[in-house]
Amino acid sequence: MHETSPVHDVAAKHESYRFYRKLFLLYLLNIIDWLCTETLLQSGRFIEMNPIMKPLVGGFWSIIIIKGIVPLALVILCSAVYRRSGSQTGGLVNIILNFGIFVYFAIILWHIFNFVLLFFVF
């Protein structure tokens, strides 16, 4: 019978915690992006630049589903797959999560730049 050492158990719990923290951060950044985008669009001085989201702008329920419910469902699905896989190595999943977090940070920095323009230039 294979027993795990206490050190392995601690490392596995730490890796698991990091995975869930990254998922939460990615979802939080998605929500911040959504709120910033809506605020800038409501100012009337900005337009949606994302060609995928452009047709959905203005539709309350479509935005709620696309920016709120679908990402939450994906986070729950990723959590379930991660838990069932039993794998504590991040590999490709960590690369994808890190890339997504980086992209959302860049988008939010762009929003901050646009808020500066909105409040100090216009």
Per-block average pLDDT, block size 10, for the chain (122 residues)? 63 80 94 93 89 82 88 88 71 83 95 92 70
Query: Cα dist. 17→12, 49, 78, 122 in Å?
Result: 9, 35, 14, 44
Q: What confidence score (pLDDT) does residue 34 get?
A: 92
- pLDDT at residue 115, as a whole number: 94
CB 94 within 8 A of CB 38: no
The model's pTM: 0.80
pLDDT (0 to 100) of residue 3: 59
In the prediction, which pLDDT does 39 show?
A: 92
Distance (Å) of CA 63 to CA 24, 58, 110: 20, 8, 20
Task: For tokens 């992209």, name the residue.
Answer: 103
Give the number of other Cβ atoms within 10 Å of residue 22's Cβ.
Answer: 19
